[in-house]
């Protein structure tokens, strides 16, 4: 019997007392201990009536037991559906109903709110708290540390991850065993992971980045993870000396740079810093290199595909780019209207094909057909180009494209200019309705600490660097940009907030 994902990630560590999870208090959970936890949980799932292919929805805080639940699902053939801990009961209702989850695992604080929903849908509700306690752990405590792994095929579903749904109903991306395993193998090789590595893990595990990139790569390489419940600056600085690799979102790195304790010496022993889930500012890239001597490795991925591209481990890691397509992944830039491949250097929609690309959207065949071509290429919805050195640059999301007076405007081009201006920490450019041009760009600026951007001077700089049709109709200074849990700027929130800014009198 085979189960490709379990056989590739977990089974090789059976009986090994090598460190796997290093907890904040210094306690160590070995690979063998972790697999024992997973097996006990797998027994609970089977005894609850779950069969291979059934879905389990988990809205739980990050903990070793929560990670073991993922492993238990893989071993028992259950499809794992992790949910953002920030979702309300109303939001969770949609995911549970849409997925048809047979079991819901939640924090004890959410049990009362979710119990009527689970009862109505006939789903088993059980509790797993952040400290590892709860009815799920109680049920697992008496089970065997051995479990007969369920037989699965490479194209069987392993996980169901819902997209953010900023432009409509959230879509459940169906990820197969091969999708996850193939990406872990490629990343471990490209980023030179070995059993000697210790990854500083401060990411959430309800998202691709923390679960399928950080965790799966560490597992396939046989390394250890310092498993922090969240990003806490003091905790990260404390544990950094025991690490060799760190994965994070741009916010992690800006916070480190703001700390006087983060120095060249504190990072001298590190092998690699990886950034993703949101664009890394060129300024952050440069400052990090100046302070530490390390060039952050930026990569590009998404829920439906895991990782698609990466800056090179050996070679120039260029700020403002996401590197080259990963081995086994094809990437092309196409015309959004015709689907024809565009010449190198031209901006178009990014399409990718490879073993990492998902199986389609759960119970949405029409949406799947719209975005996943018959030849296997996935239309990502991102706009980008391939530069003269072969590096991929992300210009923005297709929905962020601004069409003003018939001209296409890519927000990133304006943002790069705004970000360079004195007093500006970062910026976001959005489309706002305009009486004459249909829509026009508006720049949202965040002040650098202790500084006040001179908007008149900034507009003068913009006029010198960009064509007139790209000039922001207005510059607005705010305290901060709205972001989701992975650090991505929520431009839809900004568009709603400033929708009538150009029509107000």
- Tell me: the pLDDT tens digits for 85-111? 888 887 788 899 999 999 999 999 999
Whether residue 417 sits in one domain with residue 493: yes
CATH of the domain at 343: 2.30.38.10
Q: Please provide residue 216's backbone torsions phi and psi, each rounded to the nearest 5 degrees.
A: -65, -35
Whether residue 136 sits in one domain with residue 119: yes
- Measuring CA to CA, which residue among 399, 403, 436, 423 is closest to residue 475? 423
For residue 1, what pLDDT is reported? 65
Whether residue 129 sits in one domain with residue 42: yes
For residue 278, what pLDDT is reported? 77
Whether residue 167 sits in one domain with residue 285: no
- Measuring CA to CA, which residue among 505, 503, 480 is closest to residue 493? 480
Q: What is the dihedral of CA 186, 187, 188, 192, to 10 degrees?
A: 110
The token pair that represents 454 in the structure block: 């001179």
- Measuring CA to CA, which residue among 300, 379, 305, 374 is closest to residue 337? 379
Listed residues 306, 324, 342: the one ending a domain: 324
Express each pLDDT in 380-421 by its tens digit. 999 999 999 999 999 887 778 887 876 778 788 899 899 999
Whether residue 395 sits in one domain with residue 411: no
For residue 114, what pLDDT is reported? 94
Whether residue 47 sits in one domain with residue 179: yes
- Measuring CA to CA, which residue among 216, 213, 206 is closest to residue 61? 206
* 277 within domain boundaries: yes
> Is residue 161 scored above 60 in pLDDT?
yes
| Mean pLDDT computed over every residue of the chain | 93
For residue 167, what pLDDT is reported? 43
* 130 within domain boundaries: yes
Whether residue 165 sits in one domain with residue 48: yes
% residues pLDDT > 90 (the chain) = 81
* 195 within domain boundaries: no
Express each pLDDT in 431-469 by its tens digit. 998 876 778 899 999 999 999 999 999 999 999 888 788
* 502 within domain boundaries: no
* 243 within domain boundaries: yes
* 23 within domain boundaries: no
* 12 within domain boundaries: yes
Q: Is 100 exposed, middle or buried (0-12, 13-18, 19+ CB in 10 A)?
A: middle
Listed residues 171, 190, 209: the one ending a domain: 190
Express each pLDDT in 24-63 by its tens digit. 999 999 999 999 999 999 999 999 999 999 999 999 999 9
Min mean pLDDT across 68-82, 151-165, 189-203, 309-323 is at: 151-165
Strands 348-354, 378-386: pairing is antiparallel
CATH of the domain at 421: 3.30.300.30
The secondary element (H helix, E strand) that includes residue 173 is: strand 172-176
At residue 504 the predicted structure's pLDDT band, cuts being 50, 70 and 90, is low
Whether residue 207 sits in one domain with residue 183: no
Whether residue 256 sits in one domain with residue 303: yes
In the chain, the number of structural domains is 4
CATH of the domain at 220: 3.40.50.980
Whether residue 211 sits in one domain with residue 83: no
315-320 long-range Cβ contacts below 8 angstroms, 24+ apart: 318/389, 318/391, 319/280, 319/282, 319/285, 319/286, 320/282, 320/285, 320/393, 320/416
* 247 within domain boundaries: yes
Mean pLDDT on 157-164: 90
Whether residue 160 sits in one domain with residue 209: no
Mean pLDDT on 336-340: 92
For residue 166, what pLDDT is reported? 42
Listed residues 263, 289, 324: the one ending a domain: 324
Whether residue 313 sits in one domain with residue 462: no
Q: Which domain holds residue 107?
A: 4-18+28-190
The token pair that represents 186 in the structure block: 């490629």
Mean pLDDT on 172-177: 97
Eight-state DSSP code of residue 117: H
Q: With beta carbons less than 8 A apart as the criterion, state whether 176 and 183 touch.
A: no
On whether the pTM is more than 0.95, the answer is no
Mean pLDDT on 178-202: 98
């Amino acid at each position: 019997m085979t189960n490709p994902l379990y056989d590739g990630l977990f089974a090789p560590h059976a009986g090994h007392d090598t460190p796997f999870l290093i907890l904040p208090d210094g306690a160590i959970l070995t690979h063998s201990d972790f697999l024992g936890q997973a097996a006990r949980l797998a027994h609970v799932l089977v005894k609850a009536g779950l069969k291979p292919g059934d879905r389990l929805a988990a809205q739980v805080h990050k903990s070793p037991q929560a990670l073991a639940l993922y492993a238990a699902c893989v071993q028992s053939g259950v499809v794992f559906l992790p949910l953002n801990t920030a979702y309300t009961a109303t939001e969770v209702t949609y995911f549970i109903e849409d997925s048809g989850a047979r079991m819901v695992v939640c924090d004890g604080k959410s049990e009362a709110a979710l119990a009527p929903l689970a009862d109505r849908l006939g789903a088993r509700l059980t509790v797993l708290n952040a400290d590892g306690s709860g009815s799920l752990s109680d049920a697992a405590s008496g089970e065997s540390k051995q479990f007969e792994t369920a037989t699965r095929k490479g194209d069987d579903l392993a996980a169901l991850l819902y997209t953010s749904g900023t432009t409509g109903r959230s879509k459940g991306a169906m990820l197969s065993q091969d999708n996850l395993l193939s990406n872990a193998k490629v990343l471990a090789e490209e980023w030179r992971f070995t059993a000697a590595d210790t990854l500083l893990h401060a990411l959430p595990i309800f998202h691709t980045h923390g679960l399928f990139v950080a965790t799966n790569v560490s597992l396939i390489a046989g390394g250890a993870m310092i498993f922090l419940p969240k990003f806490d600056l003091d905790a990260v600085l404390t544990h950094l000396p025991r690490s060799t690799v760190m994965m994070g979102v741009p916010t992690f790195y800006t916070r480190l740079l703001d700390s006087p304790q983060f120095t060249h010496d504190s990072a001298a022993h590190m092998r690699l810093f990886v950034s993703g889930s949101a664009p890394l500012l060129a300024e952050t890239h440069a400052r990090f290199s100046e302070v530490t001597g390390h060039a952050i490795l930026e990569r590009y991925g998404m829920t439906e595909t895991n990782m698609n591209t990466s800056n090179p481990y050996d070679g120039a890691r260029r700020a403002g780019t996401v590197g080259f397509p990963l081995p086994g992944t094809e990437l092309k830039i196409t015309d959004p209207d015709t689907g024809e491949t565009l010449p190198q250097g031209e901006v178009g929609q990014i399409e990718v094909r490879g073993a990492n690309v998902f199986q389609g959207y759960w119970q949405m065949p029409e949406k799947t057909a719209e975005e996943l071509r018959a030849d296997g290429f996935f239309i990502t919805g991102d706009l980008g180009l391939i530069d003269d050195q072969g590096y991929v640059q992300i210009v923005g999301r297709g929905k962020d494209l601004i069409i003003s007076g018939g001209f296409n405007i890519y927000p990133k081009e304006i943002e790069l200019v705004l970000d360079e201006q004195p007093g500006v920490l970062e910026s976001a450019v959005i489309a706002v309705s305009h009486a004459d041009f249909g829509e026009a760009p508006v720049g949202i600026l965040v002040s650098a600490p202790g500084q006040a951007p001179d908007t008149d001077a900034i507009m003068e700089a913009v006029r010198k660097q960009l064509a007139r049709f790209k000039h922001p109709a207005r510059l607005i200074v705010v305290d901060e940009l709205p972001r989701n849990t992975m650090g991505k700027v929520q431009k839809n929130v900004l568009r709603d907030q400033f929708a009538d800014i150009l029509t107000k009198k």
